[in-house]
Each structure stands twice: as C-alpha cells, then as structure tokens.
C-alpha cells in the first residue's frame, strides 16, 4: 500500500509540473520572438537612418555646388518646382532652419523615397513635407516664431515662420503655407505649421 500511495503522488506531480513548464516555455518563446522582432526593427531603422543621412549629405553637397545664390521664380505650386537628379532621385530643393539644426534636401512630389524628406501635394497648394523618423528631434526643436527657408534648385526661395505645432492621428488642417510632419509607428503625426513671410 505505501508503494501505491507513493506512486500516485509521484504521478500527480509531473502532470502539474508539466503544465507549468509548458506555460513557462511558451511564455519564454513569445518573449524571445518579441525581442527578435524588436531587434530586427531597431537594426532596420538604424540602417535606414545611415542610408538616409549619407544620401542627404551627398544631395546637400550637390545642391551647394549647383544652386545659384539667387534667381529663378518661386514656383506657383509643388508640381511646378524645378528638380535636380541626385542618385536617380528628383530633388526639389533644400529646407533650412538654422536654429533647430535642420538642413535637408527635399525630394519632389511622387519620388518614393525613404532616404530624404519628400514633398506631398497639399489640398490648397501649400508645401507639405514628410520628414524622416530620424529627423524627429530637429522637427521637435522648431519653436514658434522660428524662421525656415525653402530654396528651390534654381535659387529662388521663400521664407516661413513657425506658427503652431502639435500631434494628430487624423488628416491635416490645410491652413498653413508650409507644414512639416513626421509619422510615428502607430499612425500619429508630429507636425509643425508655418506661414510664409516672404
């Protein structure tokens, strides 16, 4: 009889212990999968940032060489902007906000790129610039009243000043002459709206 009781207790413990061990293994597998996915995302973002910064550096150097100090006519809309090809990508101009440390080439509308900010067609003809995630700190550094300048590749330029900023998950209210934004992982957009001063 003692042997049978010992056998019964011994058989009950492995079943309970087995379920516990299975739950732990499943939990560890899920954690490991999550960490791998996170690590892959971080590595991919880091590679995109490195490629983007390298491209922007080349594009700015090219714009520095070929953009006249002044000249040209300010384009009526984003579709009318002259372009310069850099590494096969149409660049429409350069956006500078010295106070925020922002100096970047801007790709023409329709130039699908993850390498540089790109222009999008706004509903009222304003400049709508989608910036890259690695430029978030420069966008957040823009303060009300700060001056930005967009210079076309032919030397014509326009000056803007920051009037508002915020975060949204919906469409933009197009009452700005220039709107910069960075889209986050879950669809939220950090934006800065500017009015044209010249």
Q: How confident is residue 1, by pLDDT bands cut at 50, 70 and 90?
A: very low
pLDDT score of 4 more than 60:
no
Q: What is the pLDDT of residues 182-197, one digit of tens each?
A: 988 777 899 999 999 8
152-173 pLDDT, tens per residue?
Answer: 999 999 999 999 999 888 877 6
47 or 131, greater pLDDT: 131
At 29-80, the pLDDT tens digits run 777 776 666 554 555 556 788 888 999 999 999 999 998 887 778 887 888 8
Inter-CA distances, 191 with 5, 95, 129, 130, Å = 72, 15, 10, 9
Query: Above 70 in pLDDT, residue 174?
Result: no
Q: Could you tell me the CATH number of the domain that includes residue 124?
A: 2.40.260.10
β-strand pairing of 89-97 with 102-107? antiparallel
Predicted pLDDT at 18:
72
What's the domain count of the chain?
A: 1
For residue 150, count CB atoms less than 10 angstroms from its CB and return exposed for 0-12, middle for 13-18, buried for 19 or more. buried
DSSP string, 106-162: EEPTT---SSS-EEEE-TTS-EEEE--GGGHHHHHT--TT-EEEEEETTS-EEEEEE
Range of the domain at 111: 1-198
- pTM of the prediction? 0.73
pLDDT on residue 63: 93
Per DSSP, what are the bridge partners of residue 118? 107, 130
- Mean pLDDT (whole number) for 94-114: 88
Tell me what pLDDT residue 173 has.
65
pLDDT at 10: 47
17-28: per-residue pLDDT in tens? 678 887 778 787
Beta bridge partners of 155: none
Q: What is the mean pLDDT of the chain?
A: 82
CB burial of residue 171 (10 Å; 0-12, 13-18, 19+): exposed
Q: What average pLDDT does this structure show over 130-149?
A: 92
Phi and psi at 148, nearest 5°, equal: -125, 150
């Amino acid at each position: 009889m003692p042997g049978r009781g010992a056998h019964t207790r011994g058989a009950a413990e492995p079943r309970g212990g087995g379920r516990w061990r299975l739950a732990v293994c499943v939990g560890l597998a899920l954690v490991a999968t999550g960490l791998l996915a996170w690590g892959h995302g971080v590595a991919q973002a880091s590679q995109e940032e490195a490629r983007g910064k390298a491209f922007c550096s080349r594009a700015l150097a090219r714009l520095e060489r070929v953009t006249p100090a002044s000249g040209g006519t300010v384009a009526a809309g984003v579709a009318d902007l002259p372009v310069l090809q850099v590494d096969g990508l149409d660049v429409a101009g350069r956006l500078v906000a010295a106070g925020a440390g922002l100096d970047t080439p801007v790709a023409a509308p329709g130039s699908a790129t993850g390498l540089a900010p790109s222009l999008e067609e706004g509903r009222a003809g304003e400049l709508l610039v989608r910036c890259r995630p690695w430029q978030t700190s420069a966008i957040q550094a823009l303060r009300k009243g700060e001056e930005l300048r967009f210079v076309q590749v032919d030397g014509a330029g326009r000056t803007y000043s920051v009037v508002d900023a915020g975060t949204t998950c919906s469409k933009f209210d197009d009452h700005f002459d220039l709107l910069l934004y960075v889209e986050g992982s879950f669809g939220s957009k950090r934006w800065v709206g500017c009015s044209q001063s010249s």
